[in-house]
Amino acid sequence: MCNGLTPHNFRCRTEVTMKTEEKGNQNVDMGLRSFIKSLAYMTGGAAFLASTTPWLTSCTPEKLDEIKKEKARVALIGSGSRGQYHIHNLLGISHADLVTICDNYQPNLEAALALYPTAKGETDYHKVLEDKSIDGVIIAVPLYLHAQITLDALSAGKHVFCEKAMALRPEDCKAVYDAYKAGDRVLYYCMQRMYDEKYIKAISMIKEGLIGDIVGMRCHWFRNADWRREVPSPELERKINWRLYKEYSGGLMTELGSHQLEVCDWAIGMVPSQVTGMGDIVYWKDGREVWDSVNVVYRYSDGRKINYESLISNKFNGMEEQILGKDGTMDLSKGVYYLEDDHSIPGMRQLLDQVKTGIFASIPSAGPSWRPELKGSYVPHAVLEGKFSVGTGESMVSADRDGADEIRSAFCQSCITGEKAQNVVEEAYYSSMLCLLGNQAMEEQRTIDFPEEYKIPYLKF
């Protein structure tokens, strides 16, 4: 249960500065308190916040106060790079106690235990689930193991926090969803954008009509790296480089696309009904089985579409998640928006500047507006004031202040209260299914309809 990274230098971020100064470092749970309070203020009150982000109602400041003297006893299953990242952040959650770390790859287990010396080590996750003193488990193992360990943990009466995606096969996604709905245990997936302040604020602005009716969506995630890990011995190739093989991995779609497809559905409040696409190994011809280049189109029943692209041999365009509206564009990943008719810069001054710099050869004299059809003319507006982090998309493990701390804190709180976070599982389910259907469409080179047997009573098609 490893992904082959060392625990050093996990994070990659870019900070954007607007008007206010960044607050000092805080424990995660204290940060979550101010996070929710500020969001309720910014989005026009708790009622509106609850309507756009109902999952936050289970971790309000008031509910955090009720459990401030209690601790969730949690175990970590999987101690590779992402697992060790979880450990670093659990150290900052005052209502969490990591009691056991489990991994069947000894080097990672030893590295993780060094980060949290009070935890005990274990190599068999079944023994972790047999421990009655453990409230919940955090699962950070390769994708092909997600569903089985989640099902076993729920069956053992444990609360569960699992990395995305939900499963490697559609039928396993449905099995996990059904088990969750049938039981009373808490289940979280690390869809951290759902707890990222800039995403929450941006989605609320979209819902309020800032950019008008949504007409389409464009997402991409570009990196320039082979995704390969150093292997100390040949027999460990598939164990360490599991992401490169279809038996264990969903490739770029499940590892990257799952986050981006989720925010598209969140913004539009629907699930695509069809998907088509193409996947290829363009550059990294090193024996891998998963594609290093994917292009997928998701079509909603009303004709709106998500255009999704990812490759890992060029990073120029980085990562973007654009929601395109009739009146503007929201770039969720960067926390900025652009308006189609923007008077932030006086029109004539801007027009003359463009003529001067050669963007226009002459001043247009016809049409309803002087506004040019050029991206460079758009003025960016920040979604949030103060400093906030913008992920470059390059990190293989995490980005600073991306909502992951908050969702972990919320899970630990739910381990104590037993309160389920509304819609987290449903959002994770549909994003996982869309990734898997995208892979199927590329593999079979045909358009796939969303199967009726995998539709759940959440959102519309």
The CATH number for 50's domain is 3.40.50.720
Range from 104-118, 362-376, 402-416 carrying the lowest mean pLDDT: 362-376
Is residue 239 within a helix (H) or strand (E), and if so which, with residue range?
Answer: helix 237-240
Query: E strands within 225-264?
Result: none
CB 311 within 8 A of CB 293: yes
Whether the per-residue pLDDT at 390 is higher than 50: the answer is yes
pLDDT value, residue 310: 98
Q: Are residues 364 and 271 in the same domain?
A: yes
**pTM (predicted TM-score):** 0.87
Burial class for 320, CB neighbours closer than 10 Å (0-12, 13-18, 19+): middle
Q: Are residues 113 and 142 in the same domain?
A: yes
- Residue range(s) defining the domain that contains residue 87: 14-194+401-424
Average pLDDT, rounded, for the chain:
86
Residue 201, domain member (yes or no): no
Residue 200, domain member (yes or no): no
Backbone angles phi, psi at 56, to 5 degrees: -75, -15
- Enumerate the β-bridge partners of residue 329: 324, 338
- Enumerate the β-bridge partners of residue 216: 324
What single-letter DSSP state applies at residue 135?
-
Query: Can you tell me the mean pLDDT for 452-459?
Result: 97
Angstrom distance (rounded) from CA 162 to CA 139: 5
Supply the CATH number for residue 240's domain. Answer: 3.30.360.10
pLDDT value, residue 20: 30
pLDDT band at residue 37 under the 50/70/90 scheme? low
Query: E strands within 22-90?
Result: 72-77
Angstrom distance (rounded) from CA 321 to CA 218: 6
Task: Convert the pLDDT of each residue in 251-293 to its tens digit.
Answer: 999 999 999 999 999 999 999 999 999 999 999 999 999 999 9
**Beta sheet of 120-122, edge-to-edge order:** 120-122, 96-102, 72-77, 136-139, 159-162, 187-189
Q: Are residues 228 and 338 in the same domain?
A: yes
Picking from 7, 421, 390, 439, the residue whose alpha carbon sits closest to that of residue 191 is: 421
Query: Can you tell me the mean pLDDT for 434-451?
Result: 98
Angstrom distance (rounded) from CA 131 to CA 99: 11
Whether the per-residue pLDDT at 7 is higher than 80: the answer is no
How many domains does the chain contain in total? 2
Whether the per-residue pLDDT at 110 is higher than 60: the answer is yes
Q: Are residues 275 and 376 in the same domain?
A: yes
Query: Can you tell me the mean pLDDT for 212-228?
Result: 97
Picking from 123, 80, 124, the residue whose alpha carbon sits closest to that of residue 239 is: 80
pLDDT band at residue 142 under the 50/70/90 scheme? very high
Whether the per-residue pLDDT at 116 is higher than 70: the answer is yes
Residue 460, domain member (yes or no): no
The encoded tokens of residue 402 equal 């991306």
Whether the per-residue pLDDT at 183 is higher than 50: the answer is yes
Q: Are residues 272 and 173 in the same domain?
A: no
Contacts of residue 318, Cβ cutoff 8 Å, sequence gap at least 6: 222, 392, 393, 394
Q: Are residues 281 and 417 in the same domain?
A: no
Q: Are residues 286 and 416 in the same domain?
A: no
User: Among the ranges 36-50, 358-372, 413-427, which has the highest mean pLDDT value?
Assistant: 413-427
Q: Are residues 55 and 170 in the same domain?
A: yes
Name the 3-class secondary structure at 282.
coil
User: In the chain, pLDDT over 90 holds for what percent of residues?
Assistant: 72
Q: Are residues 342 and 439 in the same domain?
A: yes
Whether the per-residue pLDDT at 408 is higher than 90: the answer is yes
Q: What DSSP string describes 363-394?
A: ----SS----S-GGGPPPEESSSSEEEE--S-
Q: Are residues 178 and 236 in the same domain?
A: no
Range from 11-20, 136-145, 372-381 carrying the lowest mean pLDDT: 11-20
Angstrom distance (rounded) from CA 411 to CA 212: 35
Between 61 and 115, residue with greater pLDDT: 115
Query: Can you tell me the mean pLDDT for 154-162?
Result: 98
Residue 4, domain member (yes or no): no
Residue 249, domain member (yes or no): yes
For the chain, what's the residue count?
Answer: 461
Residue 59, domain member (yes or no): yes
Torsion of the alpha carbons at 401, 404, 405 and 410, rounded to the nearest 10: 140
Q: Are residues 63 and 161 in the same domain?
A: yes
User: In the chain, pLDDT over 70 holds for what percent of residues?
Assistant: 80
Residue 7, domain member (yes or no): no
Whether the per-residue pLDDT at 371 is higher than 70: the answer is no
Torsion of the alpha carbons at 403, 42, 31 and 429, rounded to the nearest 10: -30
Whether the per-residue pLDDT at 350 is higher than 80: the answer is no
Q: Are residues 220 and 368 in the same domain?
A: yes
Whether the per-residue pLDDT at 157 is higher than 70: the answer is yes
pLDDT band at residue 344 under the 50/70/90 scheme? confident
Query: Can you tell me the mean pLDDT for 69-94?
Result: 95
Between 221 and 1, residue with greater pLDDT: 221
Between β-strands 274-280 and 214-222, what pairing exists: parallel, antiparallel or unpaired? Answer: unpaired
Query: Can you tell me the mean pLDDT for 151-166?
Result: 98
Residue 332, domain member (yes or no): yes
